[in-house]
Amino acid sequence: MSKISVGLIGYGYWGPNLARNFRASDLYELSYIADLSEKRRSAAQKENHGSRVISDYREILEDSKIELVAVATPTSTHYAIAREILSRGKHVFAEKPLTNSIAQAEELVNLSEKAGTILAVDHPFLFSSAVRKLKSIIDSGDIGDIFVIDSERLNLGLIQKDTNVFWDLAVHDVSIIDYLLGGVLPHRLMADAERYTQQDQHEFGAVSLRYPGKQIANIRVSWLSPIKARRMMIVGSKKMAYFDDIHPDEKIKIIDKGVEYDSDKDKALFPVYRWGDALLPRLDNTESLRREVDELYATIRTGTPFPSSGRDALRILKVLSAIDESLISRMEVAIV
């Protein structure tokens, strides 16, 4: 199959990572890089020989050879840029979150479906070897029915002025949990958060999500932590799983621990605690973003479903928006 000619809009924090992976792949031709900053354009020119570096992204849209446009600009700009790209019949690969509002995301999803184009959103953790392995183990039934998922994502910074800690950090945990549970939307949630060093955005927060199948997911995020942590604990009816994305060698442990009750009525009041072995699954070292762009190619060329589509991203936005609503009302919020 032929290469896909791609244009990249935005060369700030995430753009260079996208450019590096497009360049490294035999499936793409990175034809354009657009950025408003002269400094960033200069960096793009030095790091991407063979790509045309420009200031006005609309030049990309005028090129009929461009099939895919990657958008790595501030979230507030995603809607207008992606809408323009889709209206030209080109595919979109947007940095997360897709937009700032549910209404804007719904419009983009409907526009892409009507035009027959791909709207993909960059949720890179869904393509990591560890999360893929967790998904495989859960789907196999080895853990059993999922009861509880506890997740925390902590770091010192980066404190931001234009978004809160949930939209910056919890978006990853929400997307991972959504993926692991098969795209089931929680039906209600309760969030709490606080500001400490600034008045603009919440720097610490926690949210509890309730799902129709009685699952509970708890997420804790912070920009004010002395340690960096990215970990998740999954409690199932058969086994438990522990995911530590920071650990270099033991990212996943499947632990044969649990609580059982004897079928004998006389003994049913006394729980039996099971303490078994821990299994450390083997993981490959493929970079998640590299796997993501490779799978995006397959989606565009063969129609293979992409794990982070516009509709998937829309569910994530519904959760994030409900978190904001809960923070304002200080009450539990229903998600529809």
Amino acid 38: pLDDT: 96
The one-character DSSP state at 3 is P
Please provide the distance, in angstroms rounded to a whole number, between the alpha carbons at the two ends of the chain. 41
Whether the pLDDT of residue 271 is over 90: the answer is no
Amino acid 136: pLDDT: 97
Mean pLDDT of 272-286: 86
Q: Which residue has the tokens 């949630």?
A: 189
Instruction: Tell me how far apart the alpha carbons of residues 40 and 323 are, in angstroms, rounded to a whole number.
Output: 34
pLDDT tens, position by position, 154-170? 999 888 888 899 999 99
Mean pLDDT of 129-139: 97
Percent of the chain surpassing pLDDT 70: 98
Instruction: Tell me how far apart the alpha carbons of residues 276 and 92 are, in angstroms, rounded to a whole number.
Output: 47
Query: What is the bridge-based pairing of β-strands 216-222 and 204-210?
Result: antiparallel
Q: CB neighbours (10 Å) of residue 187? A: 13
Sign of the torsion formed by the C-alpha atoms of 301, 307, 312 and 316: negative
pTM to 2 decimals? 0.93
Average pLDDT, the chain: 95
Q: Which two tokens stand for residue 74?
A: 């501030």
55 CB-contact burial (10 Å; exposed 0-12 / middle 13-18 / buried 19+): exposed
As beta bridge partners, residue 322 has: none
- Which domains, ranges and CATH numbers included, belong to the chain? 4-122 (3.40.50.720), 126-284+317-334 (3.30.360.10)
Q: Which residue has the tokens 């998640």?
A: 288
Mean pLDDT of 105-125: 97
Whether the pLDDT of residue 265 is over 80: the answer is no
Grouping H, G, I as helix, E, B as strand and the rest as coil, residue 75 is helix
Whether the pLDDT of residue 258 is over 60: the answer is yes
Range of weakest confidence among 142-146, 259-263, 299-303? 259-263
Whether the pLDDT of residue 275 is over 90: the answer is no
Mean pLDDT of 232-247: 96
pLDDT level of residue 260 (50, 70, 90 thresholds): confident
Range of weakest confidence among 42-56, 78-92, 136-150, 256-270? 256-270
pLDDT tens, position by position, 289-307? 999 999 999 999 999 999 9
Amino acid 118: pLDDT: 98
Whether the pLDDT of residue 267 is over 60: the answer is no
User: For residue 269, how many C-alpha atoms fall within 13 Å in the half-sphere facing its CB?
Assistant: 1
As beta bridge partners, residue 255 has: 240, 278
Instruction: Tell me how far apart the alpha carbons of residues 186 and 174 are, in angstroms, rounded to a whole number.
Output: 10
Instruction: Check whether the bond before 158 is cis (ω within 30° of 0).
Output: yes
pLDDT tens, position by position, 204-233? 999 999 999 999 999 999 999 999 999 999
